[in-house]
Structure 1
Amino acid sequence: MLDLEQKKIGLLMFEFSLPAIIGMLVGALYNVTSRAFLGKGVGTVAIAAITIALPMQTLLWAVMMLVAIGTTSLISIRLGEKKIDEAEKIISSGTTILILIPSLLTVIYFLFANQILTLFGASPEVLPYARSYTDLIMLGSITSSISFGMNNFIRAEGNPRIAMATQIMVSLLNIFFNYIFIFPLGMGIRGSALAVVVAQSITALFVLAYYLSGRSLVKIRIKYLFPRQRITAGIFAIGFAPFSMQIAGVIQQTILNQTVRHYGGDLALSTIGILISLSALIYMPIMGLGQGAQPILGFNYGARAFKRVKRTLKLAIISGTGIALASWVIIIVAADPILRLFSNGDVELTKMTSHAMKYYFALIPYLGFQIVSTSYFQATGKPVQATILSLSRQVLIFIPLLLILPHIWGINGVWRAVPISDALACTLTSVLIYFEIKNINYKEKNISNHNE
């Protein structure tokens, strides 16, 4: 803890952020390569199909985060209180819930699969491909839940390196099996889904082995596997915030898919799928940067070392903006070769995506400022500001624009909604950060006056 208080901010940022950035970047690379492989190996319709599957996958992530983050937080708290037995009750109950809820979601999906995917924007032409992909993803929901959830448990008991290694492993396995199943084996879109399931299953075995081998600090006990009401309520209470954020994402993705298909057809669905995967290459490393800055910001804010707080925030914003700006330059300059990765000479797809990119990424350099500012408010215990900023760009501002602008400009209204949303969200972020800096300066001045 002395390091967080005295070590140079730049070195701390490097130490804390680099592992998270690497983990996030590898995950983003998987998203891009899987779509590129499908575009090359199957065609435009496959990219449209996995774009349709995205809300269902996000819904699955939502229930996993509800359980995993709630359980992880409670484990950390009980370990801090030296209550190992209580932590073991929590992890055991959490493990059971990690299996039960995705199982229930999978049953609901298969009862109403066609209706659900049609709601998410599938046309009659895309629906069979979307079913082929999503059916397999949902059949593997339990292993995905174990892989994600128990990896968070490992981080909670103080093993971030193992957690990072697991995160990187699942992404690299996904890329490897995607290539093998799509090209040499010719399994098409089902091969891409199978790659996800196989990669998550291997990772699930890895995290299970960690706990079953006795290496873990907190043990999963058979006698505690039946979820207790008190523990379950605590898990859900803490996990509800990230769960609700993901649900908001499902709503946004559903409206986006429906609007895009209405105004641009299945081709536009493929376009938005490509744009989403490319944008992940930009924002996920910045999210890693924000995650790395959080313990530094939180510790120094709690220690009332406000000069270090401001220095950390400034460095994180500059670094995040630098990442976003460099990524934007690469995407704009190398647009044609990048887009060729996603198709086998589909001129119409390349033309539409190239046109959409000019709007979609117009204000992306400001993304670093928005993400880092959100991380700051999370780290310093200001959930209201953090939630407002988290929801503003993609939900509170974007959805109304998405419902209005296409009536004026057609499909171009969808593309233009993104930079307008970015501009308004950036303005809101600037206002909140301005008043926060004023508040910090006031506190800093009071400390100086008190010391005198």
Structure 2
Amino acid sequence: MSTSDEFGSKPINFLLRKQAIPASIGIMVLSIYGIVDTIFVGNFVGSLGIAAITVVIPITFLISSIGMGIGIGGASVISRALGAKNAEKAGKTLGNQLTLTLSLGITFCILGYIFIEPLLSAFGAKGDILAPTIEYFSIILLGIPVLAYAMMSNNIIRAVGYPKVAMYIMIVPAVVNIILDPIFIIVLDMGIKGAAWATTISYIGSASYAAFFFIKGKSGIHLKMTDLLLDWKITSEIFAIGSVTFARQGIVSLLFLILNNSLYRYGGETSIAVYGIINRMMMVVNIPALGITQGSMPIIGYNFGAKSWKRVKLALKNSMLSGTLISSVIFALIMIFTPQIIRIFTNDSSLITETVPALRITFLATPLIALQLISSAYYQAIGKSIPALLLTLTKQGFFLIPLILILPHFYGLNGLWIAFPVADILATTVCMAYLFFDNKRVLLKNSQEVKTN
């Protein structure tokens, strides 16, 4: 039995733990390195450094989401191909992913350099924030193609049944960055440039580890040179599913563009720094939901390909229950220890005073996060791109961005913070209503087909 075949035979809860725990650990460590980066910059560079990182994050991940989207799209194709015992399609899909990720990653990296100043300005790098942001981003861009490759590989490695290796791909850059940050920022006194070089080198370390896994041939997918030639049918299927991730990150980047400019308008540079801290905390709070979401996708995809409808339904149900329970516990801890958490990032008393109420407001709907993420990921896993896309866009695209544009006219800066929990509540309601009625119809239809056959 191959490693991926376990998805169709082992108990669902065992598989969820096996997949979700390493994914959560990997995301957690990756988030910790982002937090450590912010802590070093906040304490040794200042609030402008935090603001610069806050501006760059959405641009970086917009470009690198090429690899993430291709990885998730291809992982869905590979999971279903393995479930259907189609090894040739799995190999061809992996080859196409490699070609797409590296060629597109390099292209967008070059475009980033060409349009660096207008791009950063559009995302809120105004006034005193612009200069340190250019310094930071010009170095970060160098690592974008390898980051895209690492993100693509991470999803494939999880899809073929190696969640711990996927976890290490996320841990490697975190460890490297945590080691290099104090050396570059404090010892070598490189300031914001030191933070950028530490991050870029960490991306290279992550990509190198992923490449080593494939070179050793442990994936179980046999890759031929001809698989690197793009196949229109396969690339279309990859992009159909991967476009959900592109759209999600595109909307997130548009959100940052609008949010950063609104923050600057209603609260100045300090408010952007406030959101920088909030955003880092969001990464931590979302860890369980993201880990369970990523862990459930190959299980659902494999069993959908194998037409094991009961296992599909059970994996969906259990992942939602566990994600919601854990997120609720974290929500309580965040509400209780808000001031203590913020003091980790900065010793600026005025920044702490502004961040405490803002953080509490934005995190009010945290227990609902898992339901949103898993519902859209479910449709990615089973290859249904349109509902996956629509559910993915629900929070940021349909609710959060309009609320950010409307609420500040009535509530000022607080309106920006209030927009987050309101959008979460509305998006969860839509996602769950759609999932309930559609999933009931689809699984009933598939079960009837099995009985007929």
TM-score range, shorter chain: 0.7 to 0.9
The 3-state SS of whatever aligns with 2:187 is coil
1:183 aligned residue: 186
Name the CA shift for 1:184/1:326 in 2 (closer, same or farther; >3 Å): farther
Distance 2:42 2:178 in 1: 14
Question: CA deviation digits over 1:129-182, x for unaligned, max 9?
Answer: 111111101022233233333444544555443232222222222222223322
Distance 2:393 2:63 in 1: 19
- Checking the alignment, whether the CA contact within 8 Å between 2:293 and 2:319 is kept in structure 1 is yes
Name the CA shift for 1:203/1:77 in 2 (closer, same or farther; >3 Å): same
- Checking the alignment, whether the CA contact within 8 Å between 1:211 and 1:220 is kept in structure 2 is no
Give the one of 388, 393, 402 matched to 1:391.
393
Distance 1:351 1:420 in 2: 23
C-alpha deviation, 1:448, in angstroms: 12
- TM-score of the pair, normalised by structure 1: 0.86
Name the CA shift for 1:122/1:222 in 2 (closer, same or farther; >3 Å): same
- Pair 1:87-2:91 in alignment: yes
C-alpha deviation, 1:217, in angstroms: 4.8
C-alpha deviation, 1:295, in angstroms: 4.1
Distance 2:36 2:353 in 1: 20
1:430 aligned residue: 432
Identity %: 32
2:128 aligned residue: 125
The 3-state SS of whatever aligns with 1:140 is helix
Distance 2:425 2:398 in 1: 13
Distance 1:271 1:278 in 2: 11
Distance 1:450 1:142 in 2: 49
Name the CA shift for 1:44/1:303 in 2 (closer, same or farther; >3 Å): same
Distance 2:73 2:151 in 1: 13
The equivalences for 1:33-112 within 5 A come to 33-70=36-73, 80-83=85-88, 87=91, 91-92=94-95, 94-112=97-115
- Checking the alignment, whether the CA contact within 8 Å between 1:393 and 1:425 is kept in structure 2 is yes
- Residue range with higher mean Cα deviation, 412-421 or 152-161: 152-161
- Checking the alignment, whether the CA contact within 8 Å between 1:40 and 1:341 is kept in structure 2 is no
Number of matched residues? 448
- Checking the alignment, whether the CA contact within 8 Å between 2:379 and 2:388 is kept in structure 1 is yes
C-alpha deviation, 1:203, in angstroms: 2.6
- Checking the alignment, whether the CA contact within 8 Å between 1:58 and 1:249 is kept in structure 2 is no
Name the CA shift for 1:69/1:319 in 2 (closer, same or farther; >3 Å): closer
Q: Mind listing any 5+ residue stretches in structure 2 that lack a counterpart?
A: none
Question: CA deviation digits over 1:360-396, x for unaligned, max 9?
Answer: 0112122223223333444455443332222111221
Question: CA deviation digits over 1:321-345, x for unaligned, max 9?
Answer: 22211111111111111111111x2
The 3-state SS of whatever aligns with 2:127 is coil
What one-letter code is carried by the residue in structure 1 that aligns with 2:294? Q
Distance 1:214 1:143 in 2: 20
C-alpha deviation, 1:6, in angstroms: 6.3
- Pair 1:170-2:173 in alignment: yes
Question: CA deviation digits over 1:337-357, x for unaligned, max 9?
Answer: 1111111x2122111111211
What one-letter code is carried by the residue in structure 2 that aligns with 1:87? G
Name the CA shift for 1:216/1:261 in 2 (closer, same or farther; >3 Å): same
Name the CA shift for 1:236/1:437 in 2 (closer, same or farther; >3 Å): closer
Aligned-residue RMSD, C-alpha: 3.4
- Checking the alignment, whether the CA contact within 8 Å between 1:102 and 1:141 is kept in structure 2 is yes
Give the one of 411, 414, 431 matched to 1:412.
414
- Checking the alignment, whether the CA contact within 8 Å between 1:61 and 1:246 is kept in structure 2 is no
What one-letter code is carried by the residue in structure 1 that aligns with 2:127? P
Name the CA shift for 1:401/1:437 in 2 (closer, same or farther; >3 Å): same
Distance 2:80 2:312 in 1: 24
2:199 aligned residue: 196
The 3-state SS of whatever aligns with 1:240 is helix
- Residue range with higher mean Cα deviation, 409-418 or 312-321: 312-321
C-alpha deviation, 1:206, in angstroms: 2.8
C-alpha deviation, 1:445, in angstroms: 9.3
- TM-score of the pair, normalised by structure 2: 0.86
1:262 aligned residue: 265
> Higher Cα Rg: structure 1 or 2?
1
C-alpha deviation, 1:45, in angstroms: 0.9
Give the one of 354, 357, 360 matched to 2:356.
354
- Residue range with higher mean Cα deviation, 305-314 or 332-341: 305-314
- Checking the alignment, whether the CA contact within 8 Å between 1:49 and 1:129 is kept in structure 2 is yes
What one-letter code is carried by the residue in structure 1 that aligns with 2:414? N
Distance 2:311 2:224 in 1: 43
1:372 aligned residue: 374
Distance 1:433 1:231 in 2: 27
- Residue range with higher mean Cα deviation, 202-211 or 40-49: 202-211
What one-letter code is carried by the residue in structure 1 that aligns with 2:429? T
